[in-house]
Amino acid sequence: MKKLALTLTAVLMMGGAAMATPVKVGIAAEPYPPFASPDASGKWVGWEVDMIGAVCKAAEMECEIVPVAWDGIIPALTAGQIDAIMASMSITEERMKTIDFSNKYYNTPTVIVGPKADAMTADAEGLKGKILGVQVSTIHEAYAQKHFKDAVAEIKVYQTQDEANQDLVAGRIDATQADSIALDDFLKSEAGAACCEVKGAVADDPDVLGLGVGVGLRKGDEELKAKFNAGIAKVLEDGTYEEISKPYFSSSIYGG
Amino acid sequence: MAVTALVGAAGAASMFELLQLSPPGWGANLLRGLWNSILIACGAFGLGIGIGTLGAFGKLYGGPVLRDLLAVYTTVVRAVPELVLILILYYAVTDAVNQTLLAFGYDRIQISGLAAGIAVLGVVQGAYATEVLRGAIQAVPAGQIEAARAMGMPPGLLARRVTLPLMLSNALPGLANLWLVATKDTALLAVVGFGELTQETRQAAGATKAYFTFFMAAGVLYLILSIGSGWLFARLERRARRGQPELHG
Amino acid sequence: MRAFWKPHRIVMALIALVIVVWSVLNLRWDWVPNYLGLAAQGIWRTIWLLAASIVLGMALAIPLGLAQAVGPRILAWPARTFCTVIRGTPLLLQLWLLYYGLGSLFPTIPWIRQSEFWPILRQAWPYGLLALTLSFAGYEGEVMRGAFKGVPKGQLEAARAMGMPRLTILRRIWLPQALHRALPTLGGETVLQLKATPLVATITVVDIYAVASRVRQDTFITYEPLLLLAVVYMAITGIIVLGFRWFEGRIPSRVA
């Protein structure tokens, strides 16, 4: 009888622990289609939003999505306002100094997009004297500052990639560098298809461009890291990854 | 001519489509953002008046150290841009609260964006409100306060029955201004990603590429808010000044 | 000065000094040498944006104020509408409307890229300057309206009686006296304008706030750049306030 009571209490406590405070997963408050963007009713939709749901379900965690301004998302994590970052954040050395990452859950190349009329190549030669636009606090800004600073006329830094795309359409910048999938989405839009095209992928630089996109976590938060890694592994194994990717992408974006 | 008119009509039609209240129109998002803006502005304004009342009394009746500390507070807040203050306070306040909680052995608490925004803007408003309320209290006829003191009124009752009601009519123009500043400062919270009207507008504009439409719509909403507030405060001021002699014939 | 340094002030000043020395020694300042050049550029941009927007804004505010004070309905009404709209909407929104809103119209005007204005329309600072100027003009238009109305009628009537032409009255009597009345308010408004300048960083104009943001993104240090930024702004504010006080002292005034 006593053993039964003890077991029941243990089970109830575990159940209670499972119903504890949900894990706050931070996403960027700025739209980043097709990964995460708000729809007309204010709900966040996109591949990454679906991934968050799948990974959390696979890891048996209750997750709450919290939009946070992109350029303040790492301080928000370290200050405890959110518990994890799943905002297409690449795993880089620089970021690893401040936060920790889970295993990657996708990896796509970085490309440069420019006007159709302009025959430029995706390197320092091709960008000579041009104005390049990048989003603040991204690997693309770091890459541009490191490799293209001397070649380009100016590097303009925007709060969102969308604003950079807008200025490309408006003609204020000559090129923008960003993730190939995000730019793909832009080129499918009316304005993007009319004006611009992909000029090529930039030369890889793993130090700056990182080793894929992972879940950002506080340093020392091993428990949560293990849970997320388990969730990601499960999603990759049991086919949920393909299922989620099918409506958005024609091939897997897990990358090498 | 006809083509331009048709194009114009089509443009206007699609504009209204984008703004309509139910999806695929983004109108509901914008209104929700407006509501958030109003909530934050109300909270910040209320907190500001609370801090301002304490600050004003402190500056007028407090000791020299208190007066100097309040002078530092008002000077710093009025000299540093709100954007910088918002960033500092947003991260510092949440960090400080969590560090103290951790130090005492409690769990971190999650401070919602709404609470943080209200706290930050409230602190900023408090500095300006201190000055407005101080000026208003100083404009209260000294005779009234002296008479109440002569009759033995305790300070608390004095403040509640005499000073505050008389000060209100003097303070209302300055407070009306502060309210407008509060409603417009909520836009700055878009830079920290909080979903008030400007942020919702930016998201809607980004998703649909109809920048002009949405920014104009947001402008109209803010204008309605400010003109409405102006009218409301004018009525409040007329009511607060009832019984006082008119300033000019 | 002796009256200022009461005992409690000396103690507070010493405490403040201790805090400053502690911060200098204990917080992270290793990034400062790397960004000094950029910081100097940023401060310069902030100051000239402030100065230019104030000069141009006042140039616009004087006719706006005059129109509202004495103008015929047809001039007063647009002026009043302009001031109401500017003062009723946030500067951030006005800024984004001008930059991104107008920018979104560019692709619909294909000949714009060949026009002479294109190099200016391309860059971000003209929009920042325009938004700040219009904003200042909107607020100062109200101030100038009050100032123009506040000049004693007797002065204007006397000048008229002496046969002064209208424009000379404006130039010699009305405007200088109105400006003198408005001067204390203008000092405060200049400080407010300084506090509005950081917003241009959101449209890629690199002022001192943008430099501080850049430092925060590159180094992930949260507080130190912001604290230093606050000190810079306080220093500039101090200079503005002292400048206005000196200027007010130099103007001979007989308070009747």
Select the more confidently predicted residue: C65 or B109. C65
**A163, B206: Cβ pair inside 8 Å?**
yes
Greatest mean pLDDT among A209-218, B231-240, C127-136 lies in C127-136
Residue C3 has pLDDT above 80, yes or no: no
Task: Give the per-residue pLDDT at C123.
Answer: 86
Half-sphere exposure of residue C96: CA atoms within 13 angstroms, side-chain side: 32
Q: Which residues of B touch C6 (CB under 8 A)?
A: 64
Interacting residues of B135 by C-beta distance below 8 A, sequence separation 6+: B170, B171, B174
d(CA A88, CA B132): 47
Task: Give the per-residue pLDDT at B12.
Answer: 62
Confidence of residue A13 (pLDDT cuts 50, 70, 90): very low
Is C72 in a helix, a strand, or coil?
Answer: coil
**B206, A79: Cβ pair inside 8 Å?**
no
Is C256 in CB contact (< 8 Å) with chain B?
no
Confidence of residue A14 (pLDDT cuts 50, 70, 90): very low
* CB neighbour class for A188 (10 Å; exposed up to 12, middle 13-18, buried from 19): exposed
Task: Give the per-residue pLDDT at C40.
Answer: 93
Strand runs labelled E in A5-158: 23-28, 37-38, 44-45, 63-68, 84-85, 100-106, 110-115, 131-135, 154-158
Percent of chain A beyond pLDDT 90?
12
| Assigned domain for B143 exists | yes
Closest CA to A216 of A116, A97, A119, A89: A89
Task: Give the per-residue pLDDT at B8.
Answer: 52
Question: Is the distance from CB of A174 to CB of A115 less than 8 angstroms?
Answer: yes
**C100, A163: Cβ pair inside 8 Å?**
yes
Interacting residues of A126 by C-beta distance below 8 A, sequence separation 6+: A112, A120, A199
Residue C253 has pLDDT above 70, yes or no: no
Model pLDDT for residues B76-91, shown as the tens digit of each residue: 898 999 888 888 887 7
Task: Give the per-residue pLDDT at B82.
Answer: 87
Pairing of strands A154-158, A131-135: parallel
Select the more confidently predicted residue: B58 or C183. B58
Q: What is the DSSP letter of A152?
A: S
Neighbours of A, requiring at least 3 CB pairs below 8 Å, are B, C
Residue of B nearest to A44 (CA): B203
**B203, A30: Cβ pair inside 8 Å?**
yes
Model pLDDT for residues A169-183, shown as the tens digit of each residue: 888 899 999 988 888
Nearest Cβ partner of C199 from B83, B186, B201?
B83
Model pLDDT for residues C91-150, shown as the tens digit of each residue: 999 999 999 888 878 877 878 777 778 888 888 899 999 999 999 999 999 888 888 888
Question: Which residues sit opposite A106 in a β-bridge?
Answer: A213
d(CA A143, CA A147): 6
Q: What is the DSSP letter of C111?
A: G
Task: Give the per-residue pLDDT at B87.
Answer: 82
A171 conformational bin, left if phi > 0, alpha if psi -120 to 50, beta if neither = left
Residue B139 has pLDDT above 70, yes or no: yes
Task: Give the per-residue pLDDT at C53.
Answer: 95
Nearest Cβ partner of A166 from C103, C213, C216?
C103
| Assigned domain for B128 exists | yes
Residue of A nearest to C96 (CA): A163
Task: Give the per-residue pLDDT at C199.
Answer: 92
Select the more confidently predicted residue: A161 or B13. A161
Percent of chain B beyond pLDDT 90?
20
Question: Which residues sit opposite A24 in a β-bridge?
Answer: A64
Task: Give the per-residue pLDDT at B212.
Answer: 84
| Assigned domain for B176 exists | yes
Residue A134 has pLDDT above 90, yes or no: yes
Number of domains in chain B: 1
Smallest Cα distance from A77 to chain B, Å: 10
* Average predicted confidence (pLDDT) for chain A: 84
Q: Is the dihedral of CA B210, B216, B222, B228 positive or negative?
A: negative
Residue C254 has pLDDT above 70, yes or no: no
Neighbouring C-beta atoms of residue A252, cutoff 10 Å: 11
Q: Of A133-142, B168-177, B224-233, which range is least confident?
A: B168-177
Residue of B nearest to C85 (CA): B223
Q: Which residues of C touch A118 (CB under 8 A)?
A: none
Confidence of residue A15 (pLDDT cuts 50, 70, 90): very low
Question: Is the distance from CB of B226 to CB of B183 less than 8 angstroms?
Answer: yes
**C217, A98: Cβ pair inside 8 Å?**
no
CATH number of the domain enclosing B104: 1.10.3720.10
d(CA B121, CA B124): 5
Question: Is the distance from CB of C39 to CB of C231 less than 8 angstroms?
Answer: no
* Average predicted confidence (pLDDT) for chain C: 87
- Angle, helices C175-196 vs C223-250, to 10°: value is 170
ipTM given for this complex: 0.82
Rg of chain B taking only CA atoms, in angstroms: 23
Select the more confidently predicted residue: A118 or A100. A100
Neighbours of B, requiring at least 3 CB pairs below 8 Å, are A, C
Largest Cα separation within chain C, whole Å, is: 71
Q: What is the DSSP letter of C63?
A: H
The whole-model pTM stands at 0.85
d(CA A50, CA A246): 12
Domains of chain C listed by start with CATH number: 51-200 (1.10.3720.10)
Task: Give the per-residue pLDDT at A210.
Answer: 83
Q: Of A147-161, B109-123, B205-219, which range is least confident?
A: B109-123
Task: Give the per-residue pLDDT at A6.
Answer: 53
Task: Give the per-residue pLDDT at B249.
Answer: 39
**A30, B193: Cβ pair inside 8 Å?**
yes
| Assigned domain for B35 exists | yes
Nearest 10 degrees: Cα torsion A176, A180, A181, A182 = -10
Neighbouring C-beta atoms of residue A46, cutoff 10 Å: 21
Domain hosting B170: range is: 30-199+218-238
Model pLDDT for residues B19-77, shown as the tens digit of each residue: 776 666 788 888 888 998 999 999 999 999 999 999 998 988 888 888 888 988 998 89
| Assigned domain for B189 exists | yes
Measured CA to CA in angstroms, residue B104 lies from A21, A145, A221 at distances of 20, 43, 20
| Assigned domain for B4 exists | no
| Assigned domain for B135 exists | yes
Token representation of residue B213: 């439409």
Residue A16 has pLDDT above 50, yes or no: no
Interacting residues of C209 by C-beta distance below 8 A, sequence separation 6+: B81, B83, B84, C42, C46, C197, C198, C201, C229
Q: Which residues of C touch B222 (CB under 8 A)?
A: 88-90, 93
Model pLDDT for residues C221-233, shown as the tens digit of each residue: 878 888 899 999 9
| Assigned domain for B12 exists | no
